[in-house]
Amino acid sequence: MCGEIRRRLPHNDVRTRAEWAARSRSYWVDSTGIGFNMYLAVFLRCLVGVVVVAQTLYSSTMNHLKEYGTMKAIGGSNADIYAVLARQAVISAWVGFALGAIPSYALVPLVERVELKLYMPPMLAGSVFAGTIVLCLAAAAVSFRKVAGIDPALVFRA
């Protein structure tokens, strides 16, 4: 159909729906600065998330330093302690993702009422979830480093 219209109207722009959508998206993201602002906002949100999770896990680690020392004193290795910290990081990722995803999906019908479309494909949700886990594990690296130097004799000190 587009080919026929192009043939009949050679001096006009004739595009398919997909071509028009791609051109429009490219204009708004690349030419107006919206794309840069969006990427910057995502970067800053990830940075803030990593800092908050790192502080939370580090605080928890510092509060339970004697327990980690006990684990080492009864034969636990650094890998065992790292596994505990990684589990805490993954739990933080699950909770954080749920606290963000539930309201996002709840907004879909509200946004449709004002004749807009909020499109969140499952692939995007999966990517965001995987990224959340990676960022939380990266945030836990601060605690990992602190726990590696724990002296098992710490448990026996008053």
Q: What is the pLDDT of residues 24-76, one digit of tens each?
A: 888 888 888 888 888 898 889 888 888 888 888 889 888 888 888 888 888 88
The Cα 128–Cα 61 span in angstroms is 26
Burial class of 57 by CB neighbour count within 10 A (0 to 12, 13 to 18, 19+): buried
pLDDT in tens, 79-111: 998 899 999 999 989 998 899 889 988 988 888
